[in-house]
Structure 1
Amino acid sequence: MFTSADIYTVTDFSRKPAEHIKRLNESKRPEILTVNGRAAVVIQDAESYEKMAALADYADSLLKIRQAVDEQGRDLQDFRQEFETKHGIKP
């Protein structure tokens, strides 16, 4: 996921923030910022962050549905088909 090209020092970021922001917006790749040679923070553009957050929410929803279905002893595929039919969702 990360390459050495994605790693910068916090000092470099603080000296050239506009350069980093431009690169983040163009590449859509996160950057790792280091302090004393160790990873300290990860930064990314807002659009990529929003997509990542939406995917995390979706995954969390699926996990909660799976847990609820398992607790009720229903097969997930049966539940999904019933849910899609009930709500007019076409797979």
Structure 2
Amino acid sequence: MINLKDIHSLTEFQRNAKQYVKQIKETQQPLVLTVNGKAEVVVQDAIAYQEILKRLEYVESVLAIRQGITEFESGEGKPARTALEELRKNYDISR
């Protein structure tokens, strides 16, 4: 979550960039930067950002699996052996 106390102007961030980068690394919390009083940019540690991407990829995988299960249960799918055999035939893949 974004700490509402960590909202700063872009100008302030530029003046004190080293201090803010140190803070971001220590707390693993993002900063919101404003331009003309409006939130415009989020600055975040690369490791924390990578963790978010990893979690998002996991959630997307779970959703895709759930969708596949639902489709199969409703009769839209086909057994894996059948699907693989069709792929082999369509793309001339040998066993």
Matched, 1:27 2:50: no
Please list every run of 5 or more consecutive structure 2 residues that lacks an aligned counterpart in the other structure.
Answer: 75-95
Q: Which has the higher helix share?
A: 1
Report the equivalent of 1:67.
Answer: 67
User: How many aligned positions are there?
Assistant: 74
Q: Which amino acid aligns with 2:25?
A: N
Identity over aligned pairs, percent: 38
Report the equivalent of 1:86.
Answer: none
Deviation at 1:14, TM superposition (A): 1.1
Q: TM-score of the superposition, structure 2-length normalised?
A: 0.73
4+ runs deviating over 6 angstroms: none
* RMSD, aligned α-carbons: 1.2
Q: TM-score of the superposition, structure 1-length normalised?
A: 0.76
Larger Rg: 2
Please list every run of 5 or more consecutive structure 1 residues that lacks an aligned counterpart in the other structure.
Answer: 75-91
* Structure 1 residues 1-80: aligned runs within 5 Å: 1-73=1-73
Q: Which amino acid aligns with 2:17?
A: P
